[in-house]
Chains A and B, each alone.
Chain A
Amino acid sequence: MTFKTQSIEHPASPETQAWLDEEIAEQEERFNAIASHVDSLEPRRRQWYREFFDRINTLGFNADGDSKIPIALDDLPVQPEGRKDQVVWKHGADGD
């Protein structure tokens, strides 16, 4: 995708800027709706995590391709105290 070396500088016209402003506002709404939807999945996600831990404990964790390593129960992670189960991060490591 973005090749970084591939662009020809060209100033945005007023029409383009107006279009961008409208799209940015709509994207903000879209992001909020997605974040809210994903938050609502939390109870199901809790169950999915339980099932995942059970599978990697019994069938194994895919370490590379089909190579699977069973993870001992003692090695399974614990949710840090006070940490929300957050899976949508608006700007990844650069935000939130």
Chain B
Amino acid sequence: MARPHIEPFCDRDVHFKNMTLPGFSPGMRYKMLSLDTDSGACSMTVQLDAGYRQPPGFSWAERELMIVEGELRVGDRTCRKGHYFYIPPGYAMPEIATSDGCLVLMMYNTSAPSHEEATEHHPLAQTALYHDVDSYMDIPWAPGNLVKPSVASGCMIKLLNYNPISYAMTFLYFMSPAFFQDNISYHDCAEESYHLWGTSWMMQFGNLPTGGYFWRPAYINHGAFASELGCIALGRVDSKLFNHFHYNPWTTPKENRDRAAARVYQRDPLLYRWMVSHSHNHPHGPEDFEQTMARRGVDNKGEARDVAKEGHRHEHWHGVHKHEDHDHGH
């Protein structure tokens, strides 16, 4: 069932394994960061040993590469630390080689790692989507307020890849020394991060050092955030990134998802009604835990505690609607 929640994980805590899949040359070793158990899509830290050479070819999977340490020769070009590649499936890359060794992040997005020797692109390859860039030298840092509500100042980004259909993004980000942000966040998308350098802290998981990694499915609480000495990381999201901020550390992913839907209802009621009218017919929207959660204050206590005990509170206005465990109409 997709990729599980892997957080926190540090690749420095495990050993490299030899890559044994067909098509890959000897001298490629890897540490698995996360793996989609259905598709085989995965993210890996990869060590290419000195003298490694891979003949020209393509992968069946969409993939992304980031050079973490060392130099990689890609055809006639020498690419250095910070160089990023987005490679569509079926896109034939030239020979890649390294004389002194190279540490690379490799992300196979749609299926298991594969390499088919070829000097021509596959007929189905969407070659125009290919791009690569020296992310350290050739892109300026931009404020992190790409999305609203936004992160606190002191967190900046470089956008490396963007999908105009799904709004999926790959980006570098840094937290400045003494960065902090006092809220709890969750998103409607999965989020992934690899710490290239430095340490950050999150209230649920503690410190994430250099080599630290997470793959976090949607709707899972994370934050507050801090970084004492700063950090730089590669981040990815698999669809639109929206920051749902709040301050209740005890909510569940299901409650967070309900709240996200409730906010669509509150913000776009006409759209919401149309979207749900043929299946999950909640004319009043799902529960927004911020409006019903138990709080310390006396005035809220009675009603809120009832909600906490029952697990949900539901007022039915009209119509037929379905819960997870029962259907009813009235």
Contact = CB atoms under 8 A, between A and B. Distances in A.
Interface residues of B, number: 89
A6 B5 contact: no
Give chain A's interface residue range (CB within 8 Å of chain B).
35 or more
A19 B42 CA distance: 12
Contact of B295 (A26, A44, A75, A83): A75
B contact face: mostly helix, strand, loop, or mixed = loop
Interface of A: 1-10, 12-13, 15-16, 19-20, 23-24, 26-27, 30-31, 34, 38, 41, 44-45, 48-49, 52-53, 55-56, 59-66, 68, 71-81, 83, 85-96
A92 B40 contact: no
B114 interface: yes
Given A1-B107, A76-B296, A62 B308 contact: no
Interface string B137-154: 000000001001111110
B110 A6 contact: yes
Contacts of A80: 250, 293-294, 308-309
A31 to B, nearest CB: 5
A13 B166 contact: no
B242 interface: no
A95 B111 contact: no
Interface string B180-220: 01110000001010000000000111100000000011111
A3 B107 CA distance: 13
Interface stretch (B46-54, B56-64, B69-77, B271-279): B56-64
A26 B247 contact: no
B165 to A, nearest CB: 6
Given A27-B37, A30-B9, A56 B32 contact: no
B216 to A, nearest CB: 8
Contacts of B64: 1
Nearest to B203: A48
A84 B64 CA distance: 38
B5 A62 contact: no
Contact of A1 (B112, B192, B245, B248): B192
A85 B170 CA distance: 31
Nearest to B300: A74
A38 B204 contact: yes
B42 A23 contact: yes
Contact of B34 (A27, A83, A95): A27
A54 B129 CA distance: 48
Given A15-B20, A93-B253, 8 more contacts: A1-B109, A1-B236, A27-B6, A38-B205, A52-B247, A76-B247, A89-B220, A90-B5
Find the residue from B4, B238, B248, B305 having the highest chain A CB count within 10 A: B4
Contacts of B219: 92-93
B297 A74 contact: yes
Nearest to A19: B21
Contacts of A56: 182-183, 247
B205 A93 contact: no
Nearest to B169: A1
A34 B7 contact: yes
Given A20-B112, A63-B183, A78-B295, A15 B253 contact: no
